Chains A and B, each alone.
With several copies, the nearest count.
Chain A
Amino acid sequence: MITVHYFAGIREMTGTHKENFDWAGVTVGQLKERLIQKYPQMQGNSLQFAVNEEYALQTDILSEGDAVALIPPVSGG
Chain B
Amino acid sequence: MKPFSIVTEPINPQLYADYVLRPEAGAVTLFTGHVREWTKGVQTVFLAYEAYVPMAEKKLAQIGQEIEEQWEGTRAAIAHRIGELQISDIAVVIAVSSPHRKTAYEANEYAIERIKEIVPIWKKEIWNDGEQWIGDQKKKPEGELR
A–B contact, 8 Å CB criterion (strictly below): yes
User: Contact residues of A with B, CB < 8 Å?
Assistant: 5, 7-9, 11-12, 32, 36, 43-48, 50, 53-55, 69, 71-77
Tell me the complex Cα distance, A48–B140, Å.
13
Number of interface residues of B (CB under 8 A): 36
Chain B residues positioned under 8 Å from A48 (CB to CB): 146
Tell me the complex Cα distance, A5–B122, Å.
14
| Interface of B, helix, strand, loop or mixed by DSSP | mixed
Q: Interface 1/0s, chain B 51-82, versus A by CB < 8 A?
A: 11011101000000000000000000000100
B139 contacts the other chain (Cβ, under 8 Å)? Answer: yes
Q: Interface 1/0s, chain B 81-119, versus A by CB < 8 A?
A: 000000000011000000001000000000010011111
Chain A residues positioned under 8 Å from B92 (CB to CB): 76-77
* Contact of A74 (CB < 8 Å), options: B112, B122, B136, B144: B122
> Chain B residue with minimal CB distance to A47?
B145
Chain A residues positioned under 8 Å from B146 (CB to CB): 46-48
Tell me the complex Cα distance, A48–B138, Å.
13
* Contact of A69 (CB < 8 Å), options: B55, B123, B133, B142: B55
Tell me the complex Cα distance, A5–B53, Å.
12
Instruction: Say yes or no: A76-B116 contact (C-beta < 8 A), given A7-B50, A7-B122, A71-B52.
Output: yes
B134 contacts the other chain (Cβ, under 8 Å)? Answer: yes
Tell me the complex Cα distance, A75–B50, Å.
10
**A75 adjacent to B121 (CB under 8 Å):** yes
Shortest Cβ distance from residue B4 to the other chain A in the assembled complex, whole angstroms: 13
Instruction: Say yes or no: A77-B33 contact (C-beta < 8 A), given A8-B135, A45-B139.
Output: yes
The 5 nearest A-B residue pairs measured at CB: A76-B121, A8-B122, A73-B135, A44-B143, A75-B134
**B144 adjacent to A44 (CB under 8 Å):** yes
**B119 adjacent to A69 (CB under 8 Å):** no
> Chain A residue with minimal CB distance to B118?
A74
Tell me the complex Cα distance, A45–B122, Å.
15
Tell me the complex Cα distance, A25–B40, Å.
47
Shortest Cβ distance from residue B106 to the other chain A in the assembled complex, whole angstroms: 17
> Chain A residue with minimal CB distance to B112?
A77
Q: List 29 A-B contacts (CB under 8 A).
A: A8-B133, A11-B50, A44-B143, A46-B138, A46-B139, A46-B146, A47-B145, A47-B146, A50-B55, A50-B120, A53-B54, A54-B58, A69-B120, A72-B122, A74-B116, A74-B117, A74-B121, A74-B135, A75-B116, A75-B121, A75-B122, A76-B49, A76-B80, A76-B91, A76-B92, A76-B115, A76-B119, A77-B112, A77-B115
